[in-house]
Amino acid sequence: MAIYTCTMNLAIDLVIETQEMLASKVNRTSSSDIQANGKGVNVSFILKQLGIDSTAIGFSGGFTGRYIKEVLDEKGISHRFVEVDGLTRVNVFTKVVNLQQEFKLVNQGPIVSQEAQEELLKQIEQMLAGDYLIVSGSLPQGVGSQVLIRIAQICSERKIRLILDSSDPIVRECLPYAPYLLKPNDEELAAWYQLESMDKDQAIQYAQKLVEGGARHVLMSLGEKGAVFIDSDLQVYECNAPKGEVVNTACSGDTLLATFLAGLLKEKPIPKCLVTSVAAGSSTAFRTGLTDFSDVKELEQQIKIKKQEV
């Protein structure tokens, strides 16, 4: 059994903090951090910390793409990216202290050719039954949403356990191919069903619809409200999130997913998987980079979990 993380739109994240943000002025930063990123790459980073190997795949371009591969090499994570023209994107996340607000500037990324897309699909076709494939994040320019359906079809035919973490509404069209796990947040779920917003109870009901439609499991992030897991029997597990000062929310969902998957692979009970993954995701939100798990046990103490019977 092998684990693959697929990031089609890799990124370098520049995370900065400034006391204030004034128009037409030079705004000095008080801190900055450069991070190799991309949602699937983050999953690989967290899995590695938890003792689980994975291979990162997707599209990489230029010197920014090379930087991400160098960081993966340093951490002992294998990768097989398809090389494309152009540069892997750089995103900027800015926390403005006096406003207590975070601004996210996310670039589009390189244009990916049809030939490069077919090469990636061939990689997936070579995976074996029982392997895990985590497809995370946005699609780059040139890649249409239909690629997610093609990936779902391949995984269904080859009995690959597909995990989808994508905001694209086309995820619902992947349900007939029985993806192993979906990881929407409540805002994404509302958008999939053409709703302005939804409360927690509504979110749970619509997440259950995803399972009824074919998904085997759903792990739903509720941000500061916690998270919900729904299994193939429609049983619902929900928990709150711990309190802390939020520094950067960009990677907390990736941490949640990777930690939860690690718990499943280690055959831990669902309640333990959910509590630890929410604590880990919160730990990431409370710092500039990914969690190092040093405070996760302490954060777990704030979390209460309950199971809803069907």
Q: What would the pLDDT profile of 233-253 be if each residue is shown by its tens digit?
A: 999 999 999 999 988 787 899
The pLDDT of residue 310: 59
The pLDDT of residue 15: 86
254 is catalytic: yes
As a whole-number percent, the residues of the chain with pLDDT over 70 amount to: 99
Mean pLDDT of 173-182: 98
Domain architecture of the chain: domains with CATH: 3-308 (3.40.1190.20)
Say which of 131, 165, 168, 254 is annotated catalytic: 254
Q: Which residues contact 261 (CB under 8 A, 6 or more apart)?
A: 43, 47, 132, 134, 163, 181
Average pLDDT, the chain: 95
pLDDT tens column, 6-28: 999 999 999 899 999 999 999 99
93 pLDDT tier (thresholds 50, 70, 90)? confident
pLDDT at 309 over 80: no
pLDDT at 30 over 90: yes
The pLDDT of residue 102: 86
Q: Which residues contact 194 (CB under 8 A, 6 or more apart)?
A: none
CB 274 within 8 A of CB 305: yes
User: 164 or 308, which is more confident?
Assistant: 164
Mean pLDDT of 189-202: 92
223 pLDDT tier (thresholds 50, 70, 90)? confident
pLDDT tens column, 148-158: 999 999 999 99
